[in-house]
Amino acid sequence: MKKILQRLTSFFTFDLPINYNYLYNGFRKTHERQRYQRSSWPITATRQKLIGSYWENALVHYLLLITLSTAIVALFSIGYSQHNNIYLPVHLLVK
State residue 13's pLDDT score: 75
Residue 52 one-letter amino acid: G
Spatial contact of 56 and 62, defined as CB atoms under 8 Å apart: no
Q: Which pTM was predicted?
A: 0.62
Give the pLDDT of the chain (95 residues) as one tens digit per residue. Answer: 888 888 777 777 777 667 788 889 989 999 999 999 998 989 999 999 999 988 998 898 889 889 989 988 888 777 555 555 555 555 555 55
Give the domain range for residue 54: 2-93
Q: How much is the pLDDT for 82?
A: 56
Residue 87's pLDDT is what?
Answer: 57
Query: For the chain, how many structural domains are there in total?
Result: 1
Q: How far apart, in whole angstroms, are the C-alpha atoms of residue 45 and residue 36? A: 14
